[in-house]
Amino acid sequence: MISCKNISKKYKKVQALNDISFEVKPGEIFGLIGPDGAGKTSLFRILTTLILADEGFASVDGLDVVKDYKLIRERVGYMPGRFSLYQDLSVEENLNFFATVFNTTVEENYELVKDIYQQIEPFKTRKAGKLSGGMKQKLALSCALIHKPTVLFLDEPTTGVDPVSRKEFWGMLKNLQQQGITILVSTPYMDEASLCDRIALIQKGRFLTIDSPQKVADSFQKTLLSVSAENMSKLLTDLRAISEVESCFAFGDSHHITLKDPTSTHKQENWGPQKKNINDIDLTINNLKMMLEAKNHINVVIKKIKPGIEDCFMELSKNNL
């Protein structure tokens, strides 16, 4: 449905995209996961024919983004990261306007947007600028869908939206997927990755990996420990000072660390008997705890945890510096 081959884009000195290649299958929800400035928006703008790539070839719905840009514009729905509907027009007027510029009517494709639009229909005479963040998103999605696109491009649709609305929004995307719409969605939130069929981790214009969220998480090779104590900021510096600690990142209420100790690597775990390994890890945890307590940390809690997408991202991004 979407295909990119060796796409590169440079803005003066900044290499926004570097040799990007990927495929999105029809009916898939494909997530682009990466921090701000990773190149997500540039990739969206190339695929929605708003900018031209410096190198490479891209197609959407079998149409070349350079040659057939006019046809692509009729078939894709694009929801930019920033709310970009007319704030001085009402909900209804916005929807009507975008339907008419696509030479269609709201009635014609009402079925598709019904579930979403019904939630904001009570406010249809309200100006778009006066809507709440969640409602704005719903309106923007309705407007992007009103011409029945085959591919939907959503650039950070949940940034700045509350957790409840975010969940609701992903529910809507699943519904759209069932109606056969291919969705390319970008997000800086790693927790949303698991809701996609496949994800690409992107950083500094490069893809770190492309796979299903489960496989990306499984690819994490090292033992991961979460460490917490009373003074978290001192803990971070102290952990980083310990020579056995390979990496240490702050994750909300705990720090996630990987160790250099060869006995606790994934490979060894597979070779040796399971029991011995657990002892090894227990040993390491105890050692670490003692080391930290020697540095006056109190309430030190160390646990072995399952890696998430964010851990994978951190691990992979180390190699992409």
Partner 1 sequence: MTLKYLLEKEFLQIKRNKFMPRMIFILPFVALALFPLVANFEVKDINLVVVDNDHSSFSARMVQKISSSGYFRLNKVSADYQTALYNIEQDDADVILEIAPGFEKNLMNFQPAGVLISTNTVNGMKGGLSSAYLSGIINDFSSEIRAEHLQNNSKLKANAIEIIPRYDYNPHLEYKYTMVPAILMMMLAMLSGFLPALNIVGEKEKGTIEQLNVTPVSKFTLILSKLIPYWVIGFIVLTICFLVAWMFYGMISAGGYLQIYLFAAVFVLAFSGLGLVISNYANTIQQAMFMMFFFVITFIFLSGLYTPVSSMPDWTQALSRISPLRYMIEVLRFIFLKGSNFFDLKWHFAALCGFAVLFNGWAVLSYRKTK
Q: Interface residues with partner 1 (CB under 8 A)? A: 48-52, 69-70, 73-74, 76, 78, 80, 82-89, 93, 97-98, 100-103, 143
User: Mind spelling out the 3-state secondary structure of 180-214?
Assistant: CCEEEEEECCHHHHHHCCEEEEEECCEEEEEECHH
Say if strands 2-11 and 206-211 run parallel, antiparallel, or are unpaired.
unpaired
For residues 13 and 70, which CB has a smaller minimum distance to partner 1 in the complex? 70
Number of C-beta neighbours around residue 26 at 10 A: 12
For residues 185 and 190, which CB has a smaller minimum distance to partner 1 in the complex? 185
For residues 50 and 291, which CB has a smaller minimum distance to partner 1 in the complex? 50
Least CB distance from residue 60 to partner 1, whole Å?
11
d(CA 196, CA 103): 32
For residues 8 and 277, which CB has a smaller minimum distance to partner 1 in the complex? 8
Least CB distance from residue 49 to partner 1, whole Å?
6
DSSP state of 130: G
Question: How many residues comprise the chain?
Answer: 321
Least CB distance from residue 86 to partner 1, whole Å?
6
Measured in whole angstroms, the distance separating CA 81 from the mean position of its chain's CA atoms is: 13
For residues 41 and 165, which CB has a smaller minimum distance to partner 1 in the complex? 41
Q: Are 307 and 220 in contact (CB under 8 A)?
A: yes
Structure tokens at 253: 């209420």
Least CB distance from residue 77 to partner 1, whole Å?
8
Least CB distance from residue 89 to partner 1, whole Å?
7
245 forms beta bridges with 259
